Amino acid sequence: MRRTQSEIDRVKKDLDRLNKENMELGDQVRALKTDPRLIEKIAREDLQRAKPGEIIIRIPPSQQPAPDPLSWPLLPSRPQHGKRHHGQKNNQQARRRL
């Protein structure tokens, strides 16, 4: 009896997780169908596409200058309650661009 109840609980948790994931994927599909900025971002960053007249210059990671950590703004060591500090996303993106 206990084993069956624990299996039911596990399946319910899996179902909740999968329903949440399905909703998130549905949101992503809607965004990809309707947001031209998102489409352009993916085309540029993931597919290395350029607009007519633009030139893409790729610099090998071994030839890129090391990022200067002193130029980055200070961030709290850990976000509280699982939330990001409002500037943290931008700093992570800036680090990725370097």
> Mean pLDDT, to the nearest integer, of 56-64?
85
Sign of the torsion formed by the C-alpha atoms of 34, 37, 42 and 48: positive
Q: What is the pLDDT of residues 15-56, one digit of tens each?
A: 999 999 999 999 999 999 999 999 999 998 888 899 999 988
**Contact call for residues 48 and 56 (beta carbons, < 8 A):** yes
Judge whether residue 68 has pLDDT over 90.
no
Judge whether residue 82 has pLDDT over 60.
no
What is the pLDDT at residue 83? 46
